[in-house]
Amino acid sequence: MYPLRLVARWTLTLLAVVLALVAVLTLLLRFALTQIDELAPRVERLLEARSGASVRLAQLEARMVGLDPTLESGGLTVTTREDDTGLPLLEVGHARMRLDTAASLRAGMPVIADARLSGLTLHLYQDEQGDWHWPDPADLPAALIEGEFDLSQMDAMVGQLLRQRAWVEDVRLVLHGRTRRLDMTAPRLLLTGDDRHAHLEGEVHLMGQEEATLQAALEVFPGPGGLRDFSAALQAEMKLDTLIDLVEVFTYGDPLQLEDASGDVTLWGRWHRGALADARLDVDVPRLALRRDDEPIVLEPFRARGQWLRGDEGWEAWLQGDASAANWAEPRELEDEKKPALPHFWHVRSDGEGWWLNTSQFELASLAAWRERVLLPEGLIRTIDALDPRGLVTGLGFGRRDGQWIAQAAVHRVEVSPLDEVPGGGPLDAWVEARDFTGRVEFIGVDGPVLRIPQVYAEPMALTHASGEVRWTYEGPRTFVSGRGLRAGWQGAEVEGGFGLAIGGGMRGGLGLDLRFRDVDAVDRPLTDWLPVDVMGEQLDAWLAEGVAGRVPAGELKLHLPLQRDGQSVPPRLRLDLAIEEGRLPFDPEWPALEALEGHLTAGIDTLEAEVHHAESLGIRGRNGRVSLADDMLRISGDLTADGEALRRYLRALPVDGMERVDDWRGEGNTAGRLELAMRLGEGGEDDFTLALDTQVALERLVYLPFDVAFRDLNGPLTWQQRNEEGGLAGRLEAGLLGGPISADIDTLEGRVELEGAMQVARLLEVGGVGGLGTRFSGRLPWRGRLTLGDSRNTFRFDSSLQGVAIDLPPPLGKTAGESRPLWLEADLDRERVEAELGGEARLRWRGLPYSDLGQGQLWFGRLPDAPIWPEREGWEATFYQSRLDLREWVSALTPMTGSGAETLSGAEAVNRLRIEAACLVGPREGCLGPMTFEARPRADAGWRVDLEGSLLEGHFDYRPAVDAALDIALERLTLDGLLPAQTGGTGELLEELDVPPDPTPLPAWIAELPNGRLRIADIRYQGRDMGPLTTRWESEPERLVLGPLGLTLGRVSATGELVWESAGPDDSLTRSRFNLDGSDLGSALEVLGQPVSIRSGEARVRSQLAWPGPPWQFALARSRGSLDVELRDGRFVQLESPTARLVGLLNVDNLLRRLRMDFSDVTGQGTAFDRVSGAATLYEGVLETNGPVRIDGPATTFTLDGTVDLARRELDQHLSVTVPVSSNLPLAAVIAGAPVVGGALFIADRLFGRVLDRATRIHYRVRGPWTSPEIKLETAE
């Protein structure tokens, strides 16, 4: 048989067999399809086994249409349970599917030629984690929800889907969220096409919304290899405002929530040769509002354009977006930033090694806000969570390479917040790199950066500059942060070094610092601003805060600060090394601190060691010092030197009672010593304090300022020892004082100070301000003193024999140098009592009162009481008694002790009573004026009342400094017998007053200090005669004293006027007076004054104005000048031989009459009578010159006088006119005897003219020469 035929036969045979088998299979398939409804229970059980749910299938049919099998079913329901309580899971109303056998064989995969599905509803339920599932016991097929995105799988699925032909109607997806239910429907999904193309379209609605949420259309074209290498184009549009409910359901419990959205999103896709080659995105969103942890994120408007392209080795994508305005819930300072909230430009690429994303600049806050929606390295996310960064990211790149997450970023003006133990600060410019759980930052500070380390420094650290590198590593829950090469300028100092931090993982962490610094200023800034807080120990921190300061040119700080976990307690470690200049080191708030300190300090936790090369404290200089602090015990030691002023300042500042008295001392010289101090800081420190200050005093001069007393060459050892509150001095000092030696043996802890010495009395008096008494006190005063100190009593006693001291005072105080007189003084310092006595002649005692600063004091002199009683009032009482009191002696002796009036009265307010008694008051001529008592008491108006009583006077005077007329003297009686010399012989001495010495005296200085006042004397007695009253006032000014108005009653005449005593240059003074005498009998005034009565008058009026050099008591007519105006009526001149009569009559009228030999028998028996005397005269340079004639009108004769009287030479130069009436009663013999020529003429004239001459005859004489025997010459007669 031919081979070809054989082959053909077997081929046909094989084909027949195959066709037979196909026929058999077709028959079997058709038969099986007719029996498929019997398989419905088995299908139900199979689906229940696969899903764990309850499945019910109402209809299942199958048949063959040609060679294409067709399957149809309906009424499929899937629930969680069979009963009514089961939850619906899946529902299918009707489904029909026809398999295109020929196309399936050609494509090598099932190809559905006609698929129709209607009434499909899928139910999904959300769990607590936000995932979607079917409730137990049902199990949702993993292929519906889970699965990783694979681009190749998507291409295969799209290829398979495009070969199918399907119609889907009424599809629903019901989402049962945690808080709400959402239904999504697809009214129609269409998949159609032919051999040249395929078309897929559909739309999705949310239940209750008419507008479609999503619309999509896909066109597919076969390639050269058919649909295996197809090309396709996709366009999809989405309405964002319809997705709010859907997003709310899907993002329940997510920190990032969509609150509002509007706008459209359009997506284009292109497939080439069966693979996605290009995709583009267009987003136009007018408003997109998100909320993250109750903080809004609003973008409006937001526009974005993007493209995705496939390459040979992978793919890459670009996105450009712009959010014109972004509202972040960030600090207010970010509101004004103009930088974008999101990057404008995005670029991502993927290849075989991984993928990488780069962005343009954006606000760092947005990265924190989107960190949970952006794929970032976990290490970077944890860093962002911890630091809460703010600032500008100028560029960001991150991705996954070789299985590692990598991120890189350049940031500008970034700030981070401290969190727990992690430091914060900014602003900084930095380069950030992160790789998985590690990273580093290289930074440099900008615009005054601030560093915040809450665990180390309570306040932010304001830096002038900063740079360095920070690295971090996350190892599981543990975090490690370190700083390297850190450099910063802080508070004017330069700081460099590094740090390390380890935290997290439930394990103990720690913070380590290693810093070096220089130029630290802890003088102008508190030291506590430089040191870590709550690290050095409570006691050391408290002590350093008390004012420790200084400048540190170089220093180093090493700190390890454990961070506690689970109650573990590990002490920190610290080492602080400082070189110190201009330091200040206090050791007690009440004690002076060490200043200007130079040295080196090393400090640890509650420990401190310092070497002090130099230090000062209020001028006291220290060297070779050491300061240590351990176990809360502070110890300070060192050598000290000081001058006198520095020592005074230091002692004054010590918190010891009584040290304020050091202000009264000044020293010159040097003192050296050593200080040893130990004290416990904190509670209980007041009971653990010791101080030893050993000094060697060598002062050239030590002055007690209140008395200007100088100790010279003061030297000796002196030690201050103190323990807790008790302290004292010990030592022995020697010096020179007031011209003599003094030594002091001091031991206040033993309660004694022994003093011994001697001093020149004159120097002592100068110190007391009574150096003028140096002429009355002389010699050297020996003395001893003892100060006794005790817990209950402190006393001082002073003793001196006064031997060697001469006192030139009135008895009984006066003594010779060789005479001894005991002087002692005792003072009880606790009871505040003082007693002193001098030789049994004077005693003093004083006691303090709790309610008074003055206390009570008493002083007796001359007569000491046996049992004195304390007065009732506070203040001093003094009683002086002498049997014979010579005020002139005491005034002369005590005048050097008195100063100005203000000084004399200083302290007088403390005196309540001053009494001076004398059995005999010595008068001006050593006579006894009788007993006298002076008693002074203070007034309520700050003045004094002095009562005076004795033989000399009786009355009082008041001194009231608050009123203008401060001194008011009121005497009831004044007896002048002992003050003025007694008159003898009966002749007056008024003319003798003309011979007062002519030497004037200047106005005394005390006139200016004399208070204004008033004098009233009711009765003035002199040699049994009374005059008065006398009243006057006076006013004192710096240049004059005015007495006026002055009034004095003298018999029947009253004298009134004014007396002024004023300065006439630095060495001279002048007295001016103006007096008026008015009354009846001028002779009564002469009688009261003890002068012979040379004149009597019925009426008298005298006006005078006089001035003379010197004080008032240096009155002299020869040196006076002024004027007199006299008018007398109805009187007579008597006793004309007396000098007083000559003065009153201006010339010797009696002598003139006798020389005229005229016999006026009607008047000469009782003197010369007158009816009226009137005239005026001027006194100048001792010459009295009449102003016009002085007229004396008598009963029968009229006299006129006109001329001068030289009072100094007692000579007259007068013109005398006598008018004599002539009558028969005039004896001719008398006329002739008196003046023969005149008498004869008158007689002849009388006979010739008769009664014409009865009227008058006037005769003119010239009177010249001494007024006791003048020459009288007849000049004319009329």
Tens digits of residue pLDDT in 711-762: 898 899 988 888 887 778 889 999 998 889 999 998 888 888 899 999 988 8
Low-confidence ranges of the chain (pLDDT < 50): 1-2, 146-149, 151, 329-335, 900-906, 985-992, 994-996, 1136, 1138-1165, 1223-1256
Q: Is residue 25 part of a domain?
A: yes
The CA-CA-CA angle for residues 849, 851, 854, to 5°, reads 55
pLDDT at 997: 55
Instruction: Quote the DSSP letter at residue 581.
Output: E
Q: Tell me the two tokens of residue 757.
A: 């010495």
pLDDT at 906: 44
Residue 1231 burial (C-beta neighbours within 10 Å; 0-12, 13-18, 19+):
buried
Rounded CA gap, 675 and 995, in Å?
A: 83
pLDDT at 1158: 43
Q: Is residue 530 part of a domain?
A: no
Q: Is residue 14 part of a domain?
A: yes
Number of domains in the chain: 1
SS3 of 54-74: EEEEEEEEEEEECCEEEEEEE
Rounded CA gap, 623 and 613, in Å?
A: 5
Question: E strands within 1121-1166?
Answer: 1121-1133
Residue 111 is which amino acid? Answer: V
Contact (Cβ atoms closer than 8 angstroms) between residue 879 and residue 861:
yes
The CA-CA-CA angle for residues 735, 741, 747, to 5°, reads 55
pTM value is 0.51
Rounded CA gap, 730 and 752, in Å?
A: 10
DSSP string, 563-580: E--TT-----EEEEEEEE
Name residue, tokens 């470690």: 573
Q: What SS3 state is found at 548? A: coil
Q: Is residue 4 part of a domain?
A: yes
SS3 of 489-531: EECCEEEEEEEEEEEECCCCEEEEEEEEEEEEECCCCCHHHCC
DSSP string, 673-712: EEEEEEEE-STTGGGSEEEEEEEEEEEEEEEETTTTEEEE
Instruction: Quote the DSSP letter at residue 976.
Output: -
Q: Is residue 26 part of a domain?
A: yes
Instruction: Quote the DSSP letter at residue 772.
Output: G
Q: Is residue 184 part of a domain?
A: no
pLDDT at 38: 62
pLDDT at 334: 43
Burial call 1029-1060: b when 16+ CB within 10 Å, e when fewer: ebbbbbbbeeebbbbbebebbbbbbebbbbbb
DSSP string, 429-454: EEEEEEETTEEEEEEEEEEEEEEE-T
H or E, element range at 890: helix 887-894
Question: For residue 264, how far is the Cα from the chain centroid?
Answer: 68
pLDDT at 54: 83
Contact (Cβ atoms closer than 8 angstroms) between residue 960 and residue 939:
yes
Name residue, tokens 């002073």: 798
At residue 80, what are phi and psi to the nearest 5 degrees?
Answer: -75, -30
Question: Is the four-CA dihedral 95, 99, 103, 107 of positive or negative sign?
Answer: positive
Q: What SS3 state is found at 370? A: helix
Residue 1006 is which amino acid? Answer: W
Burial call 525-537: b when 16+ CB within 10 Å, e when fewer: eebbebbbeebbb
Name residue, tokens 């109750």: 294
Q: Is residue 1076 part of a domain?
A: no
Contact (Cβ atoms closer than 8 angstroms) between residue 876 and residue 936:
no
Question: For residue 967, how far is the Cα from the chain centroid?
Answer: 50
Name residue, tokens 């008065």: 1028
Of the chain, the end-to-end C-alpha distance in Å amounts to 237
- Pick from 19, 79, 73, 69: which is nearest to 48 by CA? 79
Q: Is residue 509 part of a domain?
A: no
Contact (Cβ atoms closer than 8 angstroms) between residue 1228 and residue 1277:
no
Rounded CA gap, 181 and 246, in Å?
A: 10
pLDDT at 1048: 93
Contact (Cβ atoms closer than 8 angstroms) between residue 522 and residue 552:
yes
- Pick from 76, 25, 20: which is nearest to 48 by CA? 76
Residue 15 burial (C-beta neighbours within 10 Å; 0-12, 13-18, 19+):
exposed
- Contacts by residues 1120-1123 (CB-CB < 8 Å, ≥ 24 positions apart): 1120/1179, 1121/1178, 1121/1179, 1121/1180, 1121/1181, 1122/1073, 1122/1178, 1122/1179, 1123/1176, 1123/1177, 1123/1178, 1123/1179, 1123/1187
Residue 114 is which amino acid? Answer: D
> Would you call the peptide bond into 1112 cis, given omega within 30 degrees of 0 as the criterion?
no
- Pick from 807, 818, 769, 816: which is nearest to 893 by CA? 807
The CA-CA-CA angle for residues 193, 195, 201, to 5°, reads 20
Rounded CA gap, 711 and 615, in Å?
A: 29
- Pick from 990, 988, 940, 983: which is nearest to 962 by CA? 940
Q: Tell me the two tokens of residue 426.
A: 């900014």
Q: What is the rounded radius of gyration, in angstroms, for the C-alpha atoms of the chain?
A: 68
Contact (Cβ atoms closer than 8 angstroms) between residue 260 and residue 243:
no
Count of beta carbons in the 10 Å neighbourhood of residue 1100: 25
Q: Tell me the two tokens of residue 1086.
A: 């002469």
- Pick from 1100, 1102, 1095: which is nearest to 1128 by CA? 1100
What is the total residue count of the chain?
A: 1278
Contacts of 564 (CB under 8 A, 6+ apart): 508, 570
Rounded CA gap, 174 and 1047, in Å?
A: 135
Domain that holds residue 21: 1-31
CA distances, 699 to each of 608, 620, 715, 732 (Å) = 37, 15, 6, 14
H or E, element range at 261: strand 256-272
- Pick from 269, 295, 395, 401: which is nearest to 344 by CA? 395
pLDDT at 1019: 94
